[in-house]
Structure 1
Amino acid sequence: MLMETSPVCALVDSFGRRVSYLRLSVTDRCDLRCVYCMSERMTFMSRREILSLDELERVARAFIRIGVRKIRITGGEPLVRKGVIDLFRSLSACLQDGSLQELTLTTNGTHLAQHARDLALSGVRRVNISLDTLDPHRYATLTRGGSLTTVFEGIDAAQDAGLAVKINTVALRGNTEDEIDDLIHFAHHRGTGLTLIETMPLGETGEDRLDQYLPLDRLRRRIEARWSLTDIGLRTGGPARYAKVDETGGVIGFITPLTHNFCENCNRVRVTAAGVLHTCLGQNDAADLKSAMRASADNTVLLETIAHALKHKPKGHDFVLDRASVPQIKRHMSATVG
């Protein structure tokens, strides 16, 4: 049993995997409607359903106390959450005292120009920016109305503030094959990494995911027709496997939830903006941390709830993608913690 007064201990699940990485969502809302992530007409949680900034900090500090060393703030789009920079400032104290090794952010980049400097001052050293195309018209189509210019401005602002940038690209059939050489050149010319991600069957989006799905082993063969790749042992705490592009000296990551399951080394859990703990992205497991926090002024119930959830962390996900299947997970990626 984990008690508030217990010493710091490691989070280890029943399969012996140590959990050291928390993805913490601050909102399910987003200013874009990407075709692989959301439906065009989304219903978001009400303000009363989501955790306050103080509660989000309390969750983060509880996980830090019991062994989490890396926290990624996510959404939805985290930078649309009012006051979110205050959360980064509060958690920066954990970076300063050494109890937290890294505080990072995943963003679509549309608000990054406004916040990059404050993020850097709060101890953030790197950010992941979602960018699936370099074509303004295609970007507007994929995001259902977004402006690519604002993302480019966000990338510039992040790098000007001293933040390391990694580009995250969801591989989409009929899109990514055409642009992959340009994406590699764009990222590596700017000194950023590039990570490619297979689309996942999470939530109804109004689009046929099988039509969107591009296996990364197929895309890698397309890349190797132009570039020389050398696999490397780089690890950044997530599920990506990395290769160096010999011609540029830059790095490409491959995240393959469908073609090559990476669950055996999973070190991650997710907490939604509503305070729901998911120990697996591709399963329906859930633990109510919001109720646990509000049940007691101290963290005894909260820590016990986390410990119980970790004991039942699934061995892995069971994603299936075919025309006969519906999304196994009804919640959207924006609500699951991207």
Structure 2
Amino acid sequence: MKILIDKYGRKIDYLRISVTDRCNLSCIYCIPKCGVLQAIEEEMLSIKEIVSFVKVAASHGIRKIKITGGEPLLRKDIAALVSCITEIDSIMDISMTTNGVLIKKFASELKRAGLKRLNISLDSLCSDKYKEITKYGELKDVLTGIERAMELGFSQIKVNTVIIRDINLDEILDFVHFSTETGIAVRFIEYMPTKNSLDGYAKKFVSADEMRFLCNEAYSLLPAAVDGNGPAKYYVIPGTNGTIGFISPLSCKFCSDCNRIRLTSDGRLVSCLYTQEWVDIKNSLRKGPDIDEVTELLFSAIASKPASHSLIVEDRQMDFCSMMRIGG
């Protein structure tokens, strides 16, 4: 078996699958004012096509799967997809990133299907501010969904929070308290530049170091190891069940340890979240699939993986439509 190793010696064992580019929210840092041109349903990969690719990828060392979107729970067949991936023996871990609005409705079905872990995007604990950030969301739906997931005993639940100055930086200690009260790990993420976030971006950006300083002033943070696939650096709050993490794609790149590749909902393999290059595998999956051809395309995508991302605020920004389709 030929293992997926890129030209910089990084072993690729983690696949993120965006199952849709549709979303039931319109977050201020994600959806542009002009809207997003969504892929038509016929252009999206079917369950059969996704599973066919996962089997090929798993035969070459992919062991961890993260299902993303858009909002993955908008796909009616999402639980069936989870179940099919779970049946692939060499896949050791399957998780999902969701905005949490529909978790209460689908949590039980997803748990039965074999989903092990949940990452829930939540940028405010204030209902009015949450509505302002998401446009269509109701905070209570996410919080009741988290409660339901905890009741069902998912092996791990994490909350992802993008911190933006003058919007939710003042809530950072509220999120730390939320972690100490629930035992759920909260991960603070640096605000990333996209074509929808350029106005005043520099004034809105908060580095992971500043976030950590604010948290450490109120709590004595202790470094901790937390199971998972992500690049977060974790800390525990002594005397509590609280755990917080910091993800710093701008201030402190973690590219040297990157072990992932991404599959978009319309069949593109993307080797880096911030690249403008991809390998189209949809046609190969739809005509058979031809396993040898799909394998060749997979290795071609790995070969194109850059040493590090080129996310530079001054002259290059992540394309928002790609961000929606790649799944962050």
User: Which residue is equivalent to 2:17?
Assistant: 24
Tell me by how many angstroms 1:26 deviates.
0.4
Write the deviation string for residues 219-252 of structure 1: whole angstroms up to 9, x where unpaired: 1111111011122344522111112222424221
The answer to whether the Cα contact below 8 Å between 1:50 and 1:273 also exists between their aligned partners in 2 is yes
User: Which residue is equivalent to 1:4?
Assistant: none
* Structure 1, unpaired ranges of 5+: 1-6
- Where 2:187 maps in the other structure, the secondary structure is strand
Return the alpha-carbon distance in structure 1 between the equivalents of residues 199 and 58 of structure 2: 39
User: Which residue is equivalent to 1:112?
Assistant: 103
Return the alpha-carbon distance in structure 1 between the equivalents of residues 199 and 101 of structure 2: 24
2:59 to 61, 65, 83: 65
User: Which residue is equivalent to 1:81?
Assistant: 75
Seq. identity, % = 35
2:317 to 314, 327, 331: 327
User: Which residue is equivalent to 1:337?
Assistant: 327
Aligned pairs, number? 326
Letter in 2 for 1:260: C
Q: Which moved more, 1:104-113 or 1:326-335?
A: 326-335
User: Which residue is equivalent to 2:207?
Assistant: 215
The answer to whether the Cα contact below 8 Å between 2:49 and 2:286 also exists between their aligned partners in 1 is no
Q: CA RMSD in A?
A: 1.7
Return the alpha-carbon distance in structure 1 between the equivalents of residues 182 and 210 of structure 2: 26
- Where 2:87 maps in the other structure, the secondary structure is helix
Does residue 122 in structure 1 map to residue 116 in structure 2? Answer: no
Return the alpha-carbon distance in structure 1 between the equivalents of residues 281 and 233 of structure 2: 32
* Structure 2, unpaired ranges of 5+: none
TM-score (norm. length: structure 2): 0.94
In structure 2, do the counterparts of structure 1 residues 208 and 59 end up closer, same or farther at CA, with 3 Å as the change threshold?
farther
In structure 2, do the counterparts of structure 1 residues 233 and 240 end up closer, same or farther at CA, with 3 Å as the change threshold?
same
Write the deviation string for residues 178-198 of structure 1: whole angstroms up to 9, x where unpaired: 111111111231111111111
Tell me by how many angstroms 1:205 deviates.
5.3
Does residue 288 in structure 1 map to residue 288 in structure 2? Answer: no
Write the deviation string for residues 246-282 of structure 1: whole angstroms up to 9, x where unpaired: 2424221111010000000000111110111110111
The answer to whether the Cα contact below 8 Å between 1:36 and 1:209 also exists between their aligned partners in 2 is no
The answer to whether the Cα contact below 8 Å between 1:38 and 1:332 also exists between their aligned partners in 2 is no
Tell me by how many angstroms 1:332 deviates.
4.1
Letter in 2 for 1:83: D
TM-score (norm. length: structure 1): 0.92
Does residue 38 in structure 1 map to residue 28 in structure 2? Answer: no
Letter in 1 for 2:77: G
The answer to whether the Cα contact below 8 Å between 1:204 and 1:332 also exists between their aligned partners in 2 is no
Moved over 6 A (4+): none
